[in-house]
Chains A and B, each alone.
Chain A
Amino acid sequence: MIKRRLWQRFITHLDPILLALLGLLLLISLVVIYSASDGNWFRVLAQMTNILVACVALWIVANMPLHYLMRAAVPVYLLGLVLLIAVAFFGEITNGARRWLNIGVTTIQPSELMRIAVPLMMAWYFEKHEAILTLKNYFIATLLLLLPVALIARQPDLGTAILIAASGFYVLFLAGISWRIILTFLIISVASMPLAWSTLHDYQRHRIMMLLDPAQDALGRGYHTIQAIIAVGSGGVVGKGYLSGTQAHLDFLPERTTDFIFAVYSEEFGLLGNLVLLSLYLFVIMRGFVITAHASTYFTRLMAGSITLTFFTYAFVNMGMVSGILPVVGVPLPLISYGGTSMVILLLGFGILMSIHTHKKLVQT
């Protein structure tokens, strides 16, 4: 009896549908990482650990009442900002970019924190000024977004900067920023493209140029893209079979367990496998939208919508880059790629979604 109550207590704030979908995706992750690492069990175990830690984070956040989350918005955002500024001054340089901060015990990448902190802060801000939203409010919210984005772009980490900018834009969009502003902004950004071009780092320009014609640099960076496209294309309709991808196992693919894991998956499971993966992602997103549509407050609506759309963006950008329709920006495939930090941040996001869904229910009943 007590056991059952405890169990009940344990699962109240979890969303079974979402949980099942996530479970399937994480299972695929383990299966593909085993293949991508050439049968390295340590890699698989390490990813299991990542998942376990991330699940704990999910559970904690899902059980956290929403006002806790709202209260955390400002301090978390400020902490993230301070850390980003610290990175700009004291960060460690690896591969020509300043992204990591040494805090004595370990090194951290503050831009990851901002993936949650930015939409949280913006949603909090809109909630606070919900009654009378004027142009000024949108303007301030945009500033809240652009400040960390600019700091991250400067590191330089264009990929993360663009994705955080996207997550913030979703908040603005859902908060009802007028079409006229969106349109004006679009026109301005298209017009200022040449200017933006001149501020990019050489390697960033290189990546964009390569997208247009990867063959142009077949020896350098284009090599990765070409090999990834070959892997995807040669997979065909049914794939080459599990553990039989030649591109993956003959070392032609770069970063096989992380950014390019989709190429491994796609080569071995083919178009059918891709359909399964796309469907799973679509179901996760639709579930996210259902939660968003039923969210009870302005804050939770914005938060849930932004988390769902950002999740989709990560998946789309990664698959787009591996299949050669987007530039290589170094974004992992959500829930599939190997990696601890991004896993924790992702499941943290889903924890928030579950909290939004279940705490509202409690209020209603």
Chain B
Amino acid sequence: MKRHIEFKDTQREIHYFRVRLALSLGFVLLLLLILLARFVYLQVMQQSHYQTLAENNRISIVPIAPSRGLILDRNGVILAHNYSAYTLEITLNKVVDLKATIDELAKLIDIQPGDRKRFKRLLADNRKFESLPIRNRLTDDEVARFSAQRYRFPGVEIKARLFREYPYHEQISHLVGYIGRINEGEAAQLEEDEMAANYRGSDYIGKTGIERSYEGELHGKTGFQQVEVDAGGREVRVLSRTPPISGSNLVLTIDAKLQEVAEQAFGNYRGALVAIDPSNGEVLAFVSKPGYDPNLFIDGIDEQSWNELNNSPDVPLNNRALRGQYSPGSTIKPFMALAGLHYNKRAPSYTISDPGYFNLPGSRHRYRDWKKDGHGSVDLFKSIVVSCDTYYYGLATELGIDNIYSFFSEFGFGKKTGIDMEGEVSGLMPSQEWKQKRYKQKWYAGDTVSVGIGQGYNLVTPLQLAYATATLANNGVAYRPHLLKEVQNSRTSEKQALATTLESNLNLNSEHLALVKSAMVAVTQPGGTAAKAGADAPYTFAGKTGTAQVIGIKQGEKYIESKIQERHRDHAWFMAFAPFDQPKIALAVLVENGGHGSSTAAPIARKVLDYFLLGKVPQPLLIEDDAEGVEHD
């Protein structure tokens, strides 16, 4: 009985299986018929169409490069634009003898050895069938001369191309950056990102600064033409054309005029300045001195200029605002004071008597105040106004590195601000953990003492300090700093404003803030360390000076500026915001080897504030070389 059922089941199963197999065969036949239909369609019905396509294949697809978006400042001042000019171009695989051709060309057109060298480099980086420029920006005369003799030069053509230009040259160079020819590495990267097709007609790509960070917006979308060409490779007619879409214009948050004022205020000093609108994080000025001329880089920089830039002791290619890391010096004192109040380690009225130095309990090592005999009795307010070191040695010791670390991290020290420019560095906010990892050493009490006046392990970038100043000015509400204000569609002129990003709200006690900020105002008034720079200001502004040591001074020695080589002099800092009650601008200035904050950095800040708040254009700057200013930190 049982057997019978099983037998029947197997029969049924085989039956079902065969049904399914038959269905599969039907499926196969159906798909084969579809294929056959497709072949008949292509090879019979459309045969002549494809025949033409194949015969003229020969139909070449010619990319049309889009024009690159402009870069404008917040008021519409052009920082980077394009202009059209003629170039003389050679396609290598259409030329029989390259050297002879160039020699002949040189008789008609001015071709310098530098041009030849650059062309050789281009050849190495590009493929043989690409048309490469040997001379850019031909004069009308040269165009006419070549055109008359064109028949003698197969493979050589004159083309109209768009060139990038940076009208501000050395000013704003670190901010705007530059474009240059796409190199092999970048080409490989584009290939990997599936972007190679969009760069088929493009020779240039953003290399640094805004040009690089917003390459995607600036570049645009490549168009193309399907062109029918004859046997000789000349165009017969255009079959179809998809126009390119120009790159978007970028409106930056920068005020070019303010930037100019700031750059000029530096005179011959090296350094950096970053100014931020505290209410939204817009970067108003972004200076790194010295600059370089970005126009040099567009078509490959010549060797001499490159050597000059690269070997200069001033390192002009270094973006100091973004990548320079310096000891913050006394500029951290306002933040230390806030930390002291926040952790209840200092009451506003708490007063110390400053003998001019500080000892750790049980140690004879003297941590000296910058003022040899001390400042007398000092409370929190005065400690900021006169920049008393002794006060902060004690405060730092009582706070301990853990508290200092967590409080300062909140202000963005030791972290990237997240500004929209590539290459930012994070500075350094030391902690016990960091020292263990970095030096395999435990944290010593003495380390905390030096950190307390910004001369320890801590390092900040000018951007970071400006950001922290803006956060302080805005009562602890921090907006991420950004350089891009709007993206402007080049076709529709539609503007798309960028949303500001609220980074954090530190929820600081308003009484603490008021006290520290008022002390910073006193800094710029008679009796304060920046009294000179603050003199006769028609607005109230808050500031703090700082000095970053470049070389260490031994116990018992005295730092005498005039006796020290220029490049070993201290770096000068100044941070400021104004107007005091409703801050519109917060900034940080660093002057390399500028000595003291009060003598070089603060006057620069004052000029920037004067222009920004009053529209006052400063007279050519004179930085007093004040030897007795040693007394000011």
Contact = CB atoms under 8 A, between A and B. Distances in A.
Nearest to A170: B24
Contacts of B197: 217, 219-221
A229 B50 contact: yes
A173 interface: yes
Interface in A209-264: 217-221, 223, 227, 229-237, 246-247, 250, 252
A233 B42 contact: yes
Most chain-A Cβ atoms within 10 A of its Cβ — which of B18, B21, B43, B47? Answer: B43
Given A176-B20, A206-B194, A289-B25, A219 B32 contact: no
A118 B34 CA distance: 29
Interface stretch (B53-61, B127-135, B159-167, B259-267): B53-61
B31 A316 contact: yes
Nearest to A309: B24
Nearest to B47: A236
A270 B35 contact: no
Given A176-B16, A293-B18, A274 B43 contact: yes
Given A229-B42, A282-B32, A325-B34, A237 B47 contact: yes
Given A218-B224, A232-B43, A289-B25, A278 B36 contact: yes
Given A173-B24, A271-B39, A230 B47 contact: no
B35 A278 contact: yes
B54 A237 contact: no
Contacts of B63: 219
B37 to A, nearest CB: 10
Contacts of A285: 25, 28
A323 interface: yes
Given A274-B43, A285-B28, A230 B35 contact: no
Given A176-B16, A219-B224, A323-B42, 6 more contacts: A229-B42, A233-B46, A271-B40, A271-B44, A274-B39, A325-B34
A233 B224 contact: no
Given A232-B39, A234-B53, A96 B192 contact: yes
B51 interface: yes
Interface in B5-42: 13, 16-18, 20-21, 24-25, 28-29, 31-32, 34-36, 38-40, 42
Interface in B506-557: none
A23 interface: no
8 contacts: A218-B226, A219-B61, A219-B197, A223-B61, A230-B50, A274-B36, A316-B31, A316-B35
B53 A230 contact: yes
Nearest to B40: A271
Given A174-B20, A232-B39, A233-B42, A252 B57 contact: yes
Contacts of A275: 36
Interface residues of B, number: 40
Nearest to A250: B57
A233 B18 contact: no
B42 A232 contact: yes
Given A96-B192, A220-B197, A309-B28, A174 B40 contact: no
Interface of B: 13, 16-18, 20-21, 24-25, 28-29, 31-32, 34-36, 38-40, 42-44, 46-47, 49-51, 53-55, 57, 61, 63, 192, 194, 196-197, 200, 222, 224, 226
A203 B34 contact: no
A356 to B, nearest CB: 14
A231 B13 CA distance: 47
Given A170-B24, A174-B20, A274-B43, A246 B35 contact: no
Nearest to A282: B32
Given A316-B31, A320-B35, A323-B38, A236 B54 contact: no
Contacts of B40: 271
Contacts of B43: 232-233, 235-237, 266, 270-271, 274
A223 B57 CA distance: 12
A292 interface: yes
A364 to B, nearest CB: 16
A242 B196 CA distance: 35
Contacts of A325: 34-35, 38
A173 B226 CA distance: 47
A126 to B, nearest CB: 11
Contacts of A298: 13
Contacts of A170: 24
Nearest to A319: B35
A98 interface: no
A268 B278 CA distance: 72
A174 B17 contact: yes
Contact of A231 (B29, B38, B54, B224): B54
A287 to B, nearest CB: 12
A323 B39 contact: yes
B196 A289 contact: no
A223 to B, nearest CB: 8
Contact of A233 (B29, B36, B47, B61): B47
